[in-house]
Every structure is written in C-alpha cells, then in structure tokens.
Amino acid sequence: MTVDPSPNPVLINVTRSGFPESAHRGAVCVIDAEGETVLAAGAVGRPILPRSAIKPLQAIPLIEDGAADVWRSTGEELALACASHSGDPIHLRTARGWLERLGLPEDVLACGAHLPLGHMSAVRMEANGETPSRIHNNCSGKHLAMISTALNEGQPLEGYERPDHPVQQRIREILSDITGADLTGAALTVDGCGVPCWAIPLHAIARGYARFADTRGMPVPRQSAIRRLKVAIASHPEHVAGGDRFDTALIRRKRQGLVVKTGAEGVYAAALPYFGLGVALKIDDGARRAAEVAMAAVLRYLELLDDADWAALRPYVEPPIRNAAGDVVGSFDIAPGWLGRI
Amino acid sequence: MTVDPSPNPVLINVTRSGFPESAHRGAVCVIDAEGETVLAAGAVGRPILPRSAIKPLQAIPLIEDGAADVWRSTGEELALACASHSGDPIHLRTARGWLERLGLPEDVLACGAHLPLGHMSAVRMEANGETPSRIHNNCSGKHLAMISTALNEGQPLEGYERPDHPVQQRIREILSDITGADLTGAALTVDGCGVPCWAIPLHAIARGYARFADTRGMPVPRQSAIRRLKVAIASHPEHVAGGDRFDTALIRRKRQGLVVKTGAEGVYAAALPYFGLGVALKIDDGARRAAEVAMAAVLRYLELLDDADWAALRPYVEPPIRNAAGDVVGSFDIAPGWLGRI
C-alpha cells in the first residue's frame, strides 16, 4: 500500500436509515481580499483544476479590454459569458443573437457539441433524434466572450482556444493577478470545452473570488468590469445556469449578495460581495451532490443564508434521499468537525 | 477536526491531461469459499450496505423453497429475479408474463415506480409524458420472486417487503448462512425499492459470492438452486441488467465463468465459478464510475479477463474521458499499491 500522508477530511456523509452508507472528502477555503482565512479544511494549498467554477473571472477581460462596449454586450450576454448554461431556449436565443451581431457562423466556436445540460431540453432533443450543435455547449457564452475579445483586439480567431493565443494569455495574466497565484509554471490541462484549464491552489481560487467580492485597490477599469459582471449575474440568474439549478436558485434568492459558480468534478466557488469574502471548495471524488450540500452549509455558516433563505432553498440545501415509493430514507449530513456550528 | 483513524486507500485516480483531478477511495476483498483471502485492500471487515449487489443471493429461496418449480419459472424470470434491469421492453415483457401467471395485478408490487434505468427507454417515456409504473422499477424481478415465494408458502402478500415478514426473515437466514455473518443484530436499512437491506461486512459479502461460486459442502437443494441461478444468468445476461450495461457485457463475454452484480452507491460483487472465488468492493463515495473500473481491474488481476476480453470490453474497462469535441483528455487510472501487478 502506498503512503497516504494527509487525506482531506470527510465533509459530507450520506446516511440511509441512520446508517453511514457513503462519505465525501474534500477541501474548503473561505478567505477575504486581504488573504485572511475565515475557514480552512483540508489541503487548501494544493492546486486543483477549477474547471467552470472560474468562468466569472475568465470573463473579466471581455469588459476590461473594451470588447463589451464595442459589441454592445447586453446583461444577458455578460451573464452567459460567466455561465455553464442549460442549453434551454433562452440561452440559445442569447447566444445566437450575440453570434449574429459578431457576424460569424456557429462553427467559429471551438467548444464542441454536447446535449443540453438542462434535463428536459436534452430529453426533447434526444427523443426527436436531434443532434446538438456547438451553441448547446454549456460553455458557448464563455467562448463567445473569448471570440469577441480576440475580434476587438484584431487577433486571429483561428486557435483562440489554444494556451498560446493572446486571449488565453491575457486570461492567464488576469487569473494570476486576481488569485495571487503565479500561473506561469502551473500545470496546464484541457477543459471539457477545449480551452486551457490551469491548476490553481484552492486558497488562491478563494482569494480570487474574495477580490471579485471586494475590489478595493484595483485599477478602476477592473473594478468597473467586475461590477458590471456582478450586476449582470444578479439581474439574469437564469442565464448563469438554468431554471431548476442550484446556482440560479441561490442567485435569484440573494441577488447582488452572491456570485456562485459550479464546476465539473465537484468544484464550487462563490463571492460574497457584502461580506468581502471568497469561497472555494473541491470534493476529492468529483461528486456534485456533495459539492452542492457543502456549499450550502458554508453559506449558512457564514450567515449569508438565513432561516427564510434556508426554508426557501430546502430542496437544494437539504436534498432528501427517497426510495422509489417516494418515502424519505436518507440524507446528506455535514460531517462533524470542519464547520464549527453545524 | 475529528480524528479519522484509517481512511480506505485510493483505488482509482481520475486524470485530466496528466493532472490528478479526482480520486476514489474504497475497499476490495477477494476470498475463496474456505475464507482464504486472495486480495484485501481497505477496511474489509467494516459492514457496508450491499444494495442490489446482493440480489443473486436473495434469489436463492425462490428455487430452494420450491416456488420456482410450482410457478414453472423460466430462465429469463430467474435472471430477472437477480437483476437491476433497464426497464427495456424485454424486461417488461418477462415481468408482465410472470405477474400474469401469478394472476396478480401490478400494484401487488411494493417497489414503487421510477423511470427505466435504460437511458433510451427513459428518454422515450419522458418525452412522451408517460408515467412509469412499478413494473419499470429495476427491482421488479426481485419483488416478483419474493411474492412468488410468499404465495407458495401460503403467507400473506400484504407487507412482504417488511423485515418481519417470513419471506424477508428467510432471506436474512440464507444471507447469514452463506456469508457467514450473523445478521440477527445487523444494522437494518430500507433499500431503494422498500425491502430490508442489512449491513454486512465486505469480506462476508465476498465470502457469500465465493460460496455461490463454489457450492461444495452445501445441502443438495441449495447447490441445485445456485446452479440454476448461475445457468439462468449465463443464458440471459441481457435480463440481469440491459443492452449497453457493464454487467451484461461482462456476463455475455464470460458466460458461466462469471456472475457479476452492481449495486447502488458504488458497490460491486462477483462470483468466479471456475476459480472458486468471490469479489466484493465498495467505493467510499458511492461512485459507480469508479466501482466499474475497479471491478474490471480486479477481474484482470485475477486473470479472468484475458487480453482478448480486455480488448473486447475496452469501452467499459478503460472508459476514456473526452471533451465535447470528442478528443480523449483524461482517463481513470488504477492507483498504485492495492493491486500488485497493474
């Protein structure tokens, strides 16, 4: 057996009829813009792949570098740039409108095609034998943002998704700056939509979101860019994810009080603008079910979610485990120890 | 932070562009009918919920106690009794035929309704707005076996799913006997289909499957019952799961050489009749993706799967991680240490 020096703690237990059936380990970090840690559990210094949880930070250059003004980006479009959208009709309409204004065909998108993340949208397409296109990809808004930036800077569109393209270099520079992690030598991977995904220490992702929450001290153009993104997200929560999804439900409830973004493989990040805090968490095994319950617990611990919020969001924050007959037979429970008061 | 004395080892790593993105811990036990351990990793003495992975053992009384002869059970029906079926048309036809022969309406089944496990069957029903019924439940064959046994013994059908019903008491007695674990005081939970699910130490589940593989020394009626179940499973692998599922693909390939059964929350069990071995594994976090890759690795390690088997089963045993454009960007890797030669 290999040595396993410091496994992350169990964050979430899955309980059936009172028996501990499964368990999810992970790491969590809550930090402020100055780098003061509010909560840390597990290996918060270890680099992780932030995946789609980093999208709101990747969207900054679209506005800061001027493309959003040139292309007259709408609030829906700015929210879509930060989204893992469901591929529902509203998302397709916004993405198609943006693409038309750029005067480009859909195959300029390098993101590949997949069935919509939205369950009923996917069911309808599959049952009708329809083939998804690139616009259905949950990242199509992010790709449109990258393309808009490249167009505005007079850069070639060919290869905009590659790590050495100026658009990706600019994103890396902004990510390094806002997270405080120098990404020059960081592990580089390919995200599900083909763009670079650099490994970033969990505490640095949380720090990036804390600075997204609290922009004091930044150059004014970056402060303005982040403010516009926050307003767009708060105004169009359905554009950040989709109708029945946790991110959308949370942002609908807290509006400008919360930016929250899910990522593949159990990553979750959040900015709490009124608190000046950033949150990042990663479930070791990649389970979204645990990431959602853990994020809810952290937001409750931080008092961002009050009793009324908790009651309104109960199906998300305390998802019941039911048997096929509909009876509740289990629950997701916060493991003791890592959150002081839950 | 709470003390966490002995976490299970990492069994499967999830790698993206060479970076270790996620990891699945768990426990694995391979044992023979005499109780000699061939392979053990993690806390094999810890009780786990076997869920549907125990179905072939739960089906023994249907034959041993005579109901299968009275009701003239077919091979398809015996396989369906051991199944987590996909709710595809062949499964519904077999279940309906069985129910008709019993002369009972569908609502005698206590299992509740859910959309078919089979992806396209579920998509078709959902797109057409059809409501699933109890016969679609992946456990409907197991429930028909329990009902057939109760009818044959002259027991009330009402409450056949409750732990104190004679059918469930008989199953508990057989499970205790074949696994060697006294379940009298075992933790009792409700399975997804409403029947009792007792917690059983992982090594005892493996031992039960080893004795299912190698029945020497058992009373003749039990040997015969197990032989008929093994023949039924080998003859009707599509009835044990469904067309595109791993259990069905493995059994199709190895026929009488392998009984393999998946369970919810990352449980997997197998009997290797020609080797006289039983296998049981549980992924701590409940992930099926890891359970399948780990089971494949164990069967390869035991030389049950040879090069040709491995090549034929590659999409299951080495599932690629692709991005939306279809490029392979990652893999599931066997963590070093727990399997000697992989």
Q: What is the pLDDT along chain B (342 residues), one digit of tens a residue?
A: 444 558 999 999 999 999 999 999 999 999 999 999 999 999 999 999 999 999 999 999 999 999 999 999 999 999 999 999 999 999 999 999 999 999 999 999 999 999 999 999 999 999 999 999 999 999 999 999 999 999 999 999 999 999 999 999 999 999 999 999 999 999 999 999 999 999 999 999 999 999 999 999 999 999 999 999 999 999 999 999 999 999 999 999 999 999 999 999 999 999 999 999 999 999 999 999 999 999 999 999 999 999 999 999 999 999 999 999 999 999 999 999 999 744
Q: Model-level pTM greater than 0.80? A: yes
What pLDDT is attached to residue B4? 53
Contact between B190 and A2 using a beta-carbon 8 Å cutoff: no
Residue A232 amino acid letter: A
Spell out which residues of chain A touch residue B324, defining contact as CB-CB under 8 Å: 111-114, 137, 139, 192-194
- B4, B114, B323 ranked by CB distance to A194: nearest: B323
What pLDDT is attached to residue A256? 96
Spell out which residues of chain B touch residue A287, defining contact as CB-CB under 8 Å: 285-287
Q: Per-residue pLDDT for A55 more than 50?
A: yes
Considering only residues 296 to 335 of chain B, which have any Cβ-Cβ distance to chain A shorter than 8 Å? 323-327, 329, 335
Residue A220 tokens read as 């004014």
Distances (CA, A) of A132 to A104, A193, B4: 19, 14, 46
Q: A211 near A175, Cβ under 8 Å?
A: no
Q: Tell me the C-alpha distance between B342 and B338, whole Å.
A: 9
3-state secondary structure of A9: coil
CB neighbour list of residue B283: distance below 8 Å, 6 or more residues apart: A22, B11, B12, B24, B25, B26, B265, B266, B267, B290, B291, B294
Contact status of A35 with chain B (Cβ, < 8 Å)? no
Number of other residues whose CB lies within 10 A of the CB of residue B65: 19
Q: Per-residue pLDDT for A1 more than 70?
A: no
Compute the radius of gyration of chain B from its Cα atoms: 20
What pLDDT is attached to residue B5? 58
Residue B263 tokens read as 């369970």
B325 min Cα distance to partner chain A (Å): 4
Q: What percent of the residues of chain A are helix, what percent strand, and what percent coil, each to the nearest 5?
A: 45, 20, 40
What pLDDT is attached to residue B166? 98
What pLDDT is attached to residue B6? 81
Q: Which of A4-8, A57-61, A308-312, B218-222 has the lowest mean pLDDT?
A: A4-8
What pLDDT is attached to residue A6? 81
Q: A138 near A109, Cβ under 8 Å?
A: no
Spell out which residues of chain B touch residue A328, defining contact as CB-CB under 8 Å: none
Q: Tell me the C-alpha distance between B54 and B142, whole Å.
A: 11
% of chain A beyond a pLDDT of 70: 98
Contact status of B5 with chain A (Cβ, < 8 Å)? no
String of b and e for B145-164 (b: at least 16 CB within 10 Å)?
bbbbbbbbeebebeebbebe
Higher pLDDT, B205 or A341: B205
Pairing of strands B277-283, B267-272: antiparallel
Of B283, B295, B296, B250, which Cα lies nearest the Cα of B49?
Answer: B283
Q: Per-residue pLDDT for A342 more than 50?
A: no
Contact between A17 and B123 using a beta-carbon 8 Å cutoff: no
Q: Tell me the C-alpha distance between A10 and A20, whole Å.
A: 12
Compute the radius of gyration of chain A from its Cα atoms: 20
Name the phi and psi angles at B109, rounded to 5. Answer: -70, 130
Spell out which residues of chain A touch residue B127, defining contact as CB-CB under 8 Å: 123-124, 126-128
Q: Tell me the C-alpha distance between B149 and B155, whole Å.
A: 9
Of B242, B286, B326, B303, which Cα lies nearest the Cα of B48?
Answer: B286
- B7, B187, B286 ranked by CB distance to A22: nearest: B286
CB neighbour list of residue B220: distance below 8 Å, 6 or more residues apart: none
Considering only residues 180 to 209 of chain B, which have any Cβ-Cβ distance to chain A shorter than 8 Å? 187-194, 197, 199
| Chain A residue whose CA is closest to B195 | A323
Spell out which residues of chain B touch residue A112, defining contact as CB-CB under 8 Å: 323-326
Distances (CA, A) of B50 to B55, B60, B156, B207: 9, 16, 27, 13
What pLDDT is attached to residue A245? 96
Spell out which residues of chain A touch residue B193, defining contact as CB-CB under 8 Å: 323-324
Q: A234 near A255, Cβ under 8 Å?
A: yes
| Chain B residue whose CA is closest to A282 | B22
Number of other residues whose CB lies within 10 A of the CB of residue B9: 22
Contact status of A290 with chain B (Cβ, < 8 Å)? yes
Q: B119 near A126, Cβ under 8 Å?
A: no
Q: Per-residue pLDDT for A323 more than 90?
A: yes
Contact status of A337 with chain B (Cβ, < 8 Å)? yes
Spell out which residues of chain B touch residue A201, defining contact as CB-CB under 8 Å: none
According to DSSP, the residues that pair with B62 across neighbouring strands are none
CB neighbour list of residue B27: distance below 8 Å, 6 or more residues apart: B8, B41, B42, B43, B44, B46, B48, B202, B281, B282, B284
Per DSSP, the residues of A36-79 read -EEEEES-TTSEE--GGGGHHHHTHHHHHTSHHHHTT--HHHHH
Q: Per-residue pLDDT for A4 more than 80?
A: no
Of A53, A30, A50, A33, which Cα lies nearest the Cα of A41?
Answer: A30
Q: Tell me the C-alpha distance between B248 and B238, whole Å.
A: 6
